[in-house]
Structure 1
Amino acid sequence: MQAKETLFADLVQGRAQQFQVPLYQRTYSWTEKQLGQLWSDVLEQAELLESGDRASTHFLGSVVLAPSPQNEATFPRWLVVDGQQRLTTLSLALAAIRDHIADAKPDEAERIDEEYLINKRKGGSDHFRLLPTQADRPQFAAHVRGPLATQTAGGNVAAAYGFFRRKLVEADDPAAPQDVFRIEQAITSRLTLVAVTAERGDNVHRIFESLNNTGLKLSQADLLRNYLFMRLPTRGEHVYETYWLPLQESLSNDELEQLMWLQLVLDGDDRVRRQDLYAAQQHRFERREVTEAEIEAYIRELYRHSTLFRRLLHPQEEPDTAVRARLRRLDAWQAQVTYPALMLLLDRRERGELASSEAARAMSYIESFLVRRMICRVPTNNLNRVFQSVPGQLPTDVPVADGLHRLLSADNRFWPDDKELRDKIRTAPFYQYGRWHQRKMVLQRLEESYEHPEPLDFAAAQLTIEHVLPQSAGDEWMRMLAEDANAPDSAEDLHARLRHTLGNLTLTAVNSELSNHPFERKQGLLQGSHLEMNRRIAATERWGMREILARADEIADRATTLWPAPLRGVGRAERSRDWQLAHQVLAVLPHGTWTSYGDLAAFLGSGAQAVGSHMANTAGLTNAYRVLTSEGKVSDGFHWTSPDEGGDVRARLSADGVHFTVNGAADPAQRLTADDLALLVASGGDEQTDGEDTADGQGGQTRADRFFRQLAADDSPETVEAVRATFKGWEELGGWIGHGSGHTTTSAYLMLGEAGAPGRGIWPLTLYPGGGRGGTAEVVFQHLAAREPFTDRTLRAELLRRLNELEGVAIPEGKLELRPHIRLSLLEEDHNRKLLAETLAWFRERWESRDTL
């Protein structure tokens, strides 16, 4: 057996060879969680390459190889005993890079193919450098061979390839542009592997067990503590009792590690990674002979900084009122990324170089930077770099607060100005971006700006976000919108475009009462609200497009005052970010789906005509032909923008799994709405379930009572009884019913797992009252994709197959990564109710046997 450190390029490049994953190995199983971590490591290495740092590579893990029984002297074949997930993932990432650049740089695409993916002069299965398990081979081969239009949907292989295609489009974002060839270099020559090569007769499985039998690893803080006190032979006991022990008692081990990292950043090291903390600090101490006094001084400074750091973690410990308010808001925002800048401000104030009022002003710029970027949907992928660079880049020729204002206003920081902020408040689907607590905080700050004489206790009020124009609008709402619609916009287009914008959102503690009722009924409830913003809404006569846009303008006036603008005179790329988001979502349209210009426009916060114009004038846009009119027809103005494309659009759509009705329109069941598009690029869900069916302060009424009352207001008694029977059957299977909070209407979750432990369980369906259009059951495929054992796509596909056996249900395979809906009225049929009960029993059995699958 031989073990050596190597790189992916060194492992697979060179002469023709093949790495075979044995048939007994599990199929490819990496999900977005593992892919996201790898992508983060790749981007980090790409940034290090950009900075010229070629020393600090990233260790990816081990690969255990053994000679294949089909080995030939002229064509080496290796069995991949361990490491197939890593090799498959890296190969798919390179295939995605190849396809990303294929139109612009075909020679480079061919180079990537021949260097890493194929054996050019070999045919059949020997053509591929990596040969996955038999179950994964068709999909893997399809992505290596291409073209994509001929591929079928399926599996984790396709999902991983789609993930990298999306991330490569995202990496072109002008807010944080990444050179795609630097990303390729990071993958092939900056991710180190330990290749363990066995000889014939070696027990490769024992090698695998030994490599994976690791104990509890020491943290970076543990390593650095041991190093420091080994260097204190005479002062160690005093330093430990005086500084280290109080420090260790005031912070957790993880917090202490973070503080040590922040101290390096404050000293100007804007490239150090937290996982390299120990090595970086050790290197600083060993550049020269360091005395015990210097080691003690470092620990004493760490101890001093710990008091400041605790104020970031626990803002109530901050003595100054204005600074405390700023810290509380940033803590509520969960803005840990800003800690380097905040620590610098508190440290300068501690040293007497900054007054508390100036520290609070500087923090207002940080808050504005975050809030404006969130409202304007600027990606967050460069925030770490922005704030880590603050201590080293802060101007020294102006006061600290002014210097921070100038630094964050630099043209590569993308801090939206007043014009862009106003535009996005009017048009962007605010409800679909950022995290739920951030959206709530924006609305809370807007309410506070009215300076009510009796301020509301927001912590105790349990407010949630309410759509005034409902998410599911009934006929009366649609008639009102029709009055505002001008061709080519329809009432449906206006509803999709306006419902999630800031002008249509407010805070309330009576979401269930407001629900989806007509505006006249909502007016009375809003008029009695303690919130000024609600009383202003109630004072209007109607609630259509004009009123929503007028309120958006009022909000914009307050927002530009609340959150200071960047300094003028810097160049911006405002609109390109919106189109970047369009390119990103189009690149990952699932097989067998299409969307409309109106849906894409509502997702972007734009207009359908602007979307059509952009697509008609942008060459090489992936999946542009899968954007159709709202009727499912190819637009009269559609044309191919690249000479390499062409042919019949319907034929291309059919090859992509899109079906057509008898009148020649694309199947409406395969259409992705604006909400579906948002799910495709969502970073996580905001599901909130509560395990206890407790009274919620509304006359002792439980959430279950509210759910069935809302359901009965819209559905027939037969549907309500069918849902009750379904709940009873689920509880007999050992499940329980959870109810959501923070939604416009109440909801019910069919839960498995520990009751009362939100986030730990699993659920196949979420049921919602209809609000005028009939109740629905949401099939949460997207949620299941991150929960064992349903990370296995074949299990999710089986769930879809079983649900499609219900009469009236036809969920297309293209929605297997989304959250399609089923009408609850279908459960009135005994046959459907029986099939659903069997499906739920199957689901429970799969979950309970998850550790043995």
Structure 2
Amino acid sequence: MQAKETLFADLVQGRAQQFQVPLYQRTYSWTEKQLKQLWTDILEQAELLERGEKASTHFLGSVVLAPSPQNDATFPRWLVVDGQQRLTTLSLALAAIRDHVRATEPGQAERIDEQYLINKWQSGSDHFRLLPTQADRPHFAAHVRGTPTDQSTEGTVTTAYRFFQRKLVEAADATTPQDAFRIEQAITSRLTLVAVTAERGDNVHRIFQSLNNTGLKLSQADLLRNYLFMKLHTRGEQVYETYWLPLQDSLSNEELEQLMWLQLVLDGDDRVRRQDLYAVQQQRFENDGAGEAEIEAYIRELYRRATLFRRLLHPEEEPDASVRAHLRRLDAWQAQVTYPALMLLLDRRERRELDSADTARAMSYIESFLVRRMMCRVPTNNLNRIFQAMPGQLPLDVPVADGLHQLLSADNRFWPDDEELREKIQKAPFYQFGRWHQRKMVLQRLEESYEHPEPVDFASARLTIEHVMPQSAGDEWLRMLDEDAARAEDLHSRLQHTLGNLTLTAVNSELSNHPFERKQDLLRGSHLEMNRRIAATERWGAEEILARADELADRAIELWPAPLHGVGRAERSRDWALAHEVLAALPHGTWTSYGDLAAFLGSGAQAVGSHMAGTPGVVNAYRVLTSEGKVSDGFRWTSEEEGGDVRARLIADGVRFTVHGAADPAQRLSADDLALLVAEDDDRADGEDATQRTPDGGQGEETRATGSSVSSRRTTPPRRWKRSARSSPAGRDSAAGSGTGRVRSRRARS
């Protein structure tokens, strides 16, 4: 190899020659950010020329060239192994200068053309000094010929050309004139390049790899594409035109990379990571001694599966109505984690191993698996492993849909059965788990199950989740709850976020925290059947909420199939893992009660107490107290490493005590506060306290009453727990302003 410093003019002008961007290179991708930087450098050099200063030139970068297989003595052709972005950009800039001066200086325009852009006496593709990769070729050729068409008015090539057109007009402004020919001179003689030229027989692929060995410059899909077309010595053009170009047009680079990864997974590699895609696939080809036929077969298979993959990204392209409905719901759920299983099903259907009805049935198991786990608060951290392993684990001796049902029902899959689903619908705070769009989809599906003769158009309706019994319960609501139990506040805490108390509405700002009689009037006019049923109820207390939860549980069990019995059932102990997680996250100077922790878990206070008493090593177990802020009579240290006076430990942790010996109620964390502690991201545990997004990209709000005013809810849940004000017990409903280091009570939360 030879390396030397050169200028753009010295590299491209002179005798007829051509610089070819190989098929394996990515398309032109410079954006305005890179173009602006280059233009700044060009103007700086133009100003130096104008002042006659002989300052150093600007180093633009390297260009790596190799002799083309089509090379001949009379017309040298070079492969651009690296540097195509620079060469394409500079060529487009010169084309823009040529067109800028054509009307006033036609001779100079012709000179620029013949020196830098075209081979005057060559025809066809040989007419161009620079020949981009096929995807960019029509647009680039149109601008070099000076005859852009409607087809060449979009894309990155055109964007770059127009950028330079615009900048040349700005540079010609009378206030800050810049001569176009001086700008041309700056481009051709003041921007230096290092040209690295390989000899015939050098390993061009090895050169390319050494330039991109970190994978930072190019994506995994870029690197793999480059490798594939470097291997296609004789059939590259045909394979590119027939398969790769349509494939590249149908998917973005990131989507193409995901498809390449899915192809490895479908072939049984259940451990490959996307960031290792290139290395793993290259190694497979090398180990198998893959030649051009095998490489072409791989690209042809990618092309076939791309049509299937697009149906996951764009469910409207799926022809079967039932399968399309499942794909739409899974897309709305944002269930990209299930793509290996969904691609497997679509692939097997195309191979006629199952029909559309069985494909839809199998997808119903996947949907149920996700929905039931979310409703039963099963952590999602192992879903990637479950679905990535599925193609290699699917039983071979049963039909595909039945095999998938069996696989998802296995012991370590934790797919909740009907009994657990019903229990969680009745008791668990549905509003505080999963993501906002998932909770909304569950309610939407339940509404659709009523099969109303005039169903709501959910795609255009601006619906958000509403608490029928509000989160901030006024005196009238508490009096109603007092009819059901002696401790209305505890009952409110346990039931407010359960599914039986939630519905969908487009008028939650009007509903606000009004008494039930006012809400009835508004809900009667709703087009949703679930709201009409709520409005037909005489009162809305614990009995009615639990009755509705039981009705919704019946519908959920009907909508979302259960796992198979005998294969295994979910372990209920995972709820305690969630309890351990939230206790470990308790901030300094806070405590919680058995009732609060139970409400957060959707369990019972007695069960929480029994678990805490019988489970060694639970972090911060001693900071769970009775609702009065006292240490439970049944509390015992569970290991020898622990011990000592509980109150002393609490004081050391910043918990204050009143003169009556109870922990300061201002430092108590409610079930709502606990939910914020374990928020995984801005969607989990937002409880729709976060501003809810609507289908049109707008935002709907659930509101709260503070005194007589209505204020919007916080837009995003905090990443970490924040203390907020809590007024004295006599004035909690006033929700005093934040910043005093106190925790707002449940009643002050909307």
When normalised by structure 2's length, the TM-score is: 0.66
Other-structure match for 1:769: 705
Alignment of 1:732-751 (within 5 A): 741-745=699-703
> What is the distance in 2 between the residues matched to 1:519 and 1:347?
52
Other-structure match for 1:552: 549
> What is the distance in 1 between the residues matched to 2:736 and 2:246?
66
> What is the distance in 2 between the residues matched to 1:614 and 1:388?
34
> What is the distance in 2 between the residues matched to 1:638 and 1:784?
32
> What is the distance in 2 between the residues matched to 1:665 and 1:781?
33
Deviation at 1:665, TM superposition (A): 1.8
Other-structure match for 1:367: 367
> What is the distance in 2 between the residues matched to 1:602 and 1:583?
15
Local SS of the residue matching 1:226:
helix
Other-structure match for 1:618: 615
2:327 maps to amino acid: L
> What is the distance in 1 between the residues matched to 2:632 and 2:419?
32
Judged with a 3 Å threshold, the aligned counterparts in structure 2 of structure 1 residues 670 and 528 are, in CA distance, closer, same or farther, namely: same
Alignment of 1:700-711 (within 5 A): none
Alignment of 1:203-222 (within 5 A): 217-222=217-222
> What is the distance in 2 between the residues matched to 1:227 and 1:485?
71
Other-structure match for 2:517: 520
Q: Structure 1 residue 470 and structure 2 residue 428: aligned?
A: no
Q: Structure 1 residue 385 and structure 2 residue 380: aligned?
A: no
Alignment of 1:95-174 (within 5 A): none
Deviation at 1:774, TM superposition (A): 6.7
Contact 1:420 1:574 in 2 (8 A): no
Q: Structure 1 residue 574 and structure 2 residue 571: aligned?
A: yes
Contact 1:270 1:389 in 2 (8 A): yes
1:421-471 CA distance string (max 9 Å, x none): 111110110000000000000000000011111121111111111111111
Count of residue pairs brought into register by the alignment: 522
Other-structure match for 1:414: 414
Judged with a 3 Å threshold, the aligned counterparts in structure 2 of structure 1 residues 682 and 532 are, in CA distance, closer, same or farther, namely: same
> What is the distance in 2 between the residues matched to 1:501 and 1:666?
28
Alignment of 1:238-387 (within 5 A): 238-387=238-387
Local SS of the residue matching 1:347:
helix
Contact 2:689 2:715 in 1 (8 A): no
Deviation at 1:776, TM superposition (A): 7.2
> What is the distance in 1 between the residues matched to 2:629 and 2:690?
40
1:287 maps to amino acid: N
1:768-806 CA distance string (max 9 Å, x none): 532x68767988896476xxxxxxx9xx99x99xxxxxx
Local SS of the residue matching 1:322:
helix
Deviation at 1:689, TM superposition (A): 11
Deviation at 1:217, TM superposition (A): 2.1
Q: Structure 1 residue 504 and structure 2 residue 501: aligned?
A: yes
Match of 1:534 among 527, 531, 535: 531
Deviation at 1:313, TM superposition (A): 0.1
Contact 1:368 1:564 in 2 (8 A): yes
> What is the distance in 2 between the residues matched to 1:612 and 1:689?
29
Q: Tell me which moved more, 279-288 or 254-263.
A: 279-288
> What is the distance in 2 between the residues matched to 1:569 and 1:822?
45
Deviation at 1:632, TM superposition (A): 1.5
Other-structure match for 1:655: 652
Local SS of the residue matching 1:420:
helix
1:699-735 CA distance string (max 9 Å, x none): xxxxxxxxxxxxxxxxxxxxxxxxxxxxxxxxxxxxx
Q: Which ranges of structure 1 fall in alignment gaps of 5 or more residues?
A: 1-213, 698-738, 746-767, 786-792, 801-806, 825-853
> What is the distance in 1 between the residues matched to 2:440 and 2:716?
26
> What is the distance in 2 between the residues matched to 1:820 and 1:690?
19
> What is the distance in 2 between the residues matched to 1:814 and 1:774?
22
Alignment of 1:18-57 (within 5 A): none
Q: Structure 1 residue 563 and structure 2 residue 560: aligned?
A: yes
1:503 maps to amino acid: G
> What is the distance in 2 between the residues matched to 1:317 and 1:600?
46
2:301 maps to amino acid: E
1:509 maps to amino acid: A
Q: Tell me which moved more, 522-531 or 558-567.
A: 522-531
Deviation at 1:288, TM superposition (A): 2.7
Local SS of the residue matching 1:769:
strand
Deviation at 1:643, TM superposition (A): 2.6
Other-structure match for 2:399: 399
Deviation at 1:690, TM superposition (A): 12
1:566-614 CA distance string (max 9 Å, x none): 1001333532011111111111111111111111011000111221122
When normalised by structure 1's length, the TM-score is: 0.58
Local SS of the residue matching 2:572:
helix
Task: Quote the RMSD (CA, aligned, Å).
Answer: 3.0
Local SS of the residue matching 2:412:
coil
> What is the distance in 2 between the residues matched to 1:299 and 1:334?
28
Contact 2:413 2:570 in 1 (8 A): no
Local SS of the residue matching 1:458:
coil
Deviation at 1:238, TM superposition (A): 0.6
Contact 2:417 2:570 in 1 (8 A): no
> What is the distance in 2 between the residues matched to 1:245 and 1:623?
59
Deviation at 1:538, TM superposition (A): 1.1
Local SS of the residue matching 1:522:
helix
Judged with a 3 Å threshold, the aligned counterparts in structure 2 of structure 1 residues 740 and 646 are, in CA distance, closer, same or farther, namely: farther
Deviation at 1:526, TM superposition (A): 1.1
Judged with a 3 Å threshold, the aligned counterparts in structure 2 of structure 1 residues 744 and 605 are, in CA distance, closer, same or farther, namely: same
> What is the distance in 2 between the residues matched to 1:261 and 1:339?
11
Larger Rg: 2
Contact 2:476 2:515 in 1 (8 A): yes
Judged with a 3 Å threshold, the aligned counterparts in structure 2 of structure 1 residues 433 and 412 are, in CA distance, closer, same or farther, namely: same
Deviation at 1:303, TM superposition (A): 0.5
Local SS of the residue matching 1:241:
helix
Judged with a 3 Å threshold, the aligned counterparts in structure 2 of structure 1 residues 662 and 777 are, in CA distance, closer, same or farther, namely: farther
Deviation at 1:621, TM superposition (A): 1.5
Q: Structure 1 residue 641 and structure 2 residue 577: aligned?
A: no
Q: Structure 1 residue 479 and structure 2 residue 469: aligned?
A: no
Contact 1:472 1:773 in 2 (8 A): no
1:144-170 CA distance string (max 9 Å, x none): xxxxxxxxxxxxxxxxxxxxxxxxxxx
Judged with a 3 Å threshold, the aligned counterparts in structure 2 of structure 1 residues 362 and 284 are, in CA distance, closer, same or farther, namely: same
Structure 1 residue ranges, 4+ long, deviating more than 4 angstroms after superposition: 686-691, 772-782, 807-815, 819-824
Contact 1:776 1:821 in 2 (8 A): no
Deviation at 1:616, TM superposition (A): 1.7
Q: Which ranges of structure 2 fall in alignment gaps of 5 or more residues?
A: 1-213, 726-734
> What is the distance in 1 between the residues matched to 2:635 and 2:242?
74
1:95-146 CA distance string (max 9 Å, x none): xxxxxxxxxxxxxxxxxxxxxxxxxxxxxxxxxxxxxxxxxxxxxxxxxxxx
> What is the distance in 2 between the residues matched to 1:271 and 1:548?
46
> What is the distance in 2 between the residues matched to 1:365 and 1:348?
16
Other-structure match for 1:171: none
2:701 maps to amino acid: H
Judged with a 3 Å threshold, the aligned counterparts in structure 2 of structure 1 residues 424 and 779 are, in CA distance, closer, same or farther, namely: closer
Local SS of the residue matching 1:371:
helix
> What is the distance in 2 between the residues matched to 1:556 and 1:823?
30
1:449-498 CA distance string (max 9 Å, x none): 11111121111111111111111110000111111115xxx111111110
Judged with a 3 Å threshold, the aligned counterparts in structure 2 of structure 1 residues 622 and 446 are, in CA distance, closer, same or farther, namely: same
> What is the distance in 2 between the residues matched to 1:329 and 1:503?
22
1:365-402 CA distance string (max 9 Å, x none): 10000000000011111101111111111111111111
> What is the distance in 2 between the residues matched to 1:689 and 1:583?
24
Alignment of 1:417-456 (within 5 A): 417-456=417-456
Match of 1:607 among 604, 608, 632: 604
Local SS of the residue matching 2:573:
helix
Judged with a 3 Å threshold, the aligned counterparts in structure 2 of structure 1 residues 779 and 516 are, in CA distance, closer, same or farther, namely: closer
Deviation at 1:527, TM superposition (A): 1.5
